[in-house]
Structure 1
Amino acid sequence: MKEVYSVKVAIAKMEHFCAYQERCHQEVTDKLRSIHMDSDEIDTIMVHLITEKFLNEERFARSFARGKHRIKQWGKIRIIAELKFRKINQNGINFALKEITPEEYNTTFDTLSNRHWESIRETNTLKKRKKFCDFMLRKGFESQLIYEKVKELESEERG
């Protein structure tokens, strides 16, 4: 038998859940559904978490963008897609992207692309280029940046 929580207990659990790490509204709502709270209870708890500043979509989006860029070295396209998946609105996404300076973005892109290019052990130039481009696209960098970089790396390799 699943445990049934009172609103008071659920609020305490969700405060802890949100204090541990930044959360988006979607994550908290899903968590509340998983502990069998009904819609009215979820609304009450969500209002409490927002007014008590445990939950803040913009703060979540900013933190998410910073972390995913700096730690996982994701590009803007991947960050935007992940934020949309978490139902963050366009304003929140715009604020989040401002957390990454153009200098930091370009430095991350250059470092990651140079390191990955060097790590590919492929003698066939076309296959190497494809592996490189696929990897950088999966990381969420803009295709134009990637294609310019691949030309630059290939010309350096030729000498």
Structure 2
Amino acid sequence: MKDETEASVITGIERQKRNKKRYNVYVDEEYTCSVHEDILIKNRLLKGEQIDAQRLKQALEEDERHEAYLKAIRFVAVRPRSVQEVKMKLKDLGYEADLIDWTVGRLLEQKYLDDADFAKLWTEQRIQYQRKGRNAVRYELAQKGLSRDEISNALSAVDTEEEMEGALIVGRKKWKTVSGERMDRKRKTMAFLLRRGYTSSLVNDVMRRLSDEELENEE
């Protein structure tokens, strides 16, 4: 490739065998770079076209942004993600902070990311289907970068009866499997429920229900 003041010629465009969406670009008979087909078309990188160093640099910068965006899209397509999760993923992939901010900003504009919605979905899934308590959910959301207000709003929508029912389901299962004297079984079951993130007041209510159920069964 010649210096920035001299134009070179694109002498070859070759589709990659492993990634059909990317093309190798040859300038002055030498391999120079590879770009996504969208960038190839947008920048008119055609065989026989003249190109200088500045134009090539611009195309490569656009290609890097495009690749970061596509990788982020694939990441959020698996399941809803928080903003922090996407930032950490892109950082792990080796992208610089400016490019990460640009990519996240684009995803926010396109509504692929929304931490408030993410918090509500995560809370619902963990409490309804994973049988976790609100303390566990609060910790998990904080680890994923959610603000206190976002976490508080999500937890305020939790149906207390639904959370209680989940605690009873896992509590009954644990109660039936633990061994020992009654007080020892109670202690183990309470510890189990607390580890799952249920509040102490809810755990006490659950234990009263379980004790009452056992007494009824003994009669």
TM-score by length of 2: 0.65
Aligned to 2:176: 118
Which residue of the other structure, out of 136, 140, 144, is the alignment partner of 1:82? 140
Aligned to 1:11: 69
1:135 has 2:192 as partner: yes
Q: What is the CA deviation profile of residues 95-150 of structure 1, one whole-angstrom value per residue up to 9, with x for unaligned ones?
A: 32244212212222222222321232x13223212210111001111112212332
Shift of 1:153: 2.9
The unaligned stretches of length 5 or more in structure 1 are none
Please say if residues 164 and 206 of structure 2, whose CA atoms lie closer than 8 Å, have aligned partners that are also in contact: no
1:61 has 2:119 as partner: yes
1:51 has 2:113 as partner: no
Farther-moved stretch of structure 1 (124-133 vs 57-66): 124-133
Give, in whole Å, the separation in 2 of the partners of 1:52 and 1:156: 52
Give, in whole Å, the separation in 1 of the partners of 2:204 and 2:160: 18
Structure 1 or 2, whichever has the larger Rg, is 2
Give the count of matched residue pairs.
155
Give, in whole Å, the separation in 1 of the partners of 2:190 and 2:82: 31
Give, in whole Å, the separation in 2 of the partners of 1:73 and 1:53: 29
Between the two structures, name the one with larger relative contact order (CA 8 Å, sep ≥ 6).
1
Aligned to 1:147: 204
Higher strand share: 2
Amino acid at match of 2:189: F
Shift of 1:155: 4.9
Higher helix share: 1
Give, in whole Å, the separation in 2 of the partners of 1:18 and 1:152: 41
The unaligned stretches of length 5 or more in structure 2 are 1-62
Amino acid at match of 2:168: D
